[in-house]
Amino acid sequence: MPVIAPEHGYLTVLNLFKTDTSDKRESLVTEMRKVVDTAAFPGWVSSTVHRGQDKLGTLNFIQWRGLEDLEARYAGELFKHRDMPVFLEIMTYARLMQCEVELSQRHPALGGVTEISPARDDYTVAEILDVAPRNQDALVAAVGAAHEWLVETPGYRSQSVLRGIRGRRPEGTKGDLAATGADNSFVVVYSQWDSKASYDAYRNVPEDEQHAARRQTEIDRHALTISSDWNSYRVDYTRSAPQQAAA
């Protein structure tokens, strides 16, 4: 079962795909599972496919040994001529985000490490916060500090903060990739909750009913964030490289 842990030092890639019908979302999940089932790339550690809930789309949470292995995958014939052309026919938007895990925090009652698996019942939320590179450190600190008051929020399970390194998007129809924004210009917040009801209740607390620490976090986030995007997910499928699964 994959875990989110800064000490592992993996390069984490979040492939965010959007589409416009529920049938296409299911096609994305199906095609992602096919790729994951045949993954045997040097340096590939794990892939975990997420099915979008509040919005149509998918998220693939992929762990790599390092950047050199990822770039070899992008340059390969399978990526360029088999995998990406299939996805391009289904999706309406794609963002391939290279990240490093800055921190991963859990509710004290849970302990252990942050696991991601379809065997769990987490209601997962991924937020992408775009930021000026000079403000990335400050935004990482602001969202990371939220754990201190999130532990008092009913239904909260974990929060992981990933520092965005670089983003890519498909260009053309042949699996080529182009840069999306400047390097170090986004932060991803990946959180787990016990249910949609708990998360919705958290999001809908009126500002005047929020305690001071949360209000300050929201002020800091708003001041630093250029734009944001989010969706909720259920983990659909995961697979790890044999040596990782046996570890």
How far is it, in rounded angstroms, from Cα 135 to Cα 132? 5
Q: Which domain covers residue 226, as residue numbers?
A: 3-239
pLDDT at 246: 42
Q: Would residue 246 count as lying in a domain?
A: no
pLDDT at 173: 75
Q: Would residue 45 count as lying in a domain?
A: yes
Can you tell me which residue has the tokens 């992408």?
128
Contacts of range 73-76, beta carbons closer than 8 Å, 24 or more positions apart: 73/41, 73/44, 74/168, 74/177, 76/41
pLDDT at 182: 96
How far is it, in rounded angstroms, from Cα 29 to Cα 50? 8
pLDDT at 244: 55
Which tokens go with 155?
């239904």
Give average pLDDT by consecutive 10-residue segment, the chain, 247 residues. 94 98 98 95 97 98 97 92 93 97 95 93 98 98 96 97 97 86 97 98 94 94 97 98 63
Which tokens go with 232?
């909720």
Contact residues for 13 (Cβ-Cβ < 8 A; gap 6+) = 60, 62, 63, 64, 70, 96, 97, 98, 99
How far is it, in rounded angstroms, from Cα 93 to Cα 115? 28
Q: How many domains does the chain have?
A: 1
> pTM of the prediction?
0.95
Task: Determine the Cα angle at 183 with ends 177 and 187, to 5°.
Answer: 105
Are the C-beta atoms of residues 5 and 113 closer than 8 Å to each other? yes
Q: Would residue 115 count as lying in a domain?
A: yes
How far is it, in rounded angstroms, from Cα 149 to Cα 217? 10
Q: Would residue 165 count as lying in a domain?
A: yes
CATH number, position 175: 3.30.70.100
How far is it, in rounded angstroms, from Cα 216 to Cα 94? 32
pLDDT at 247: 43
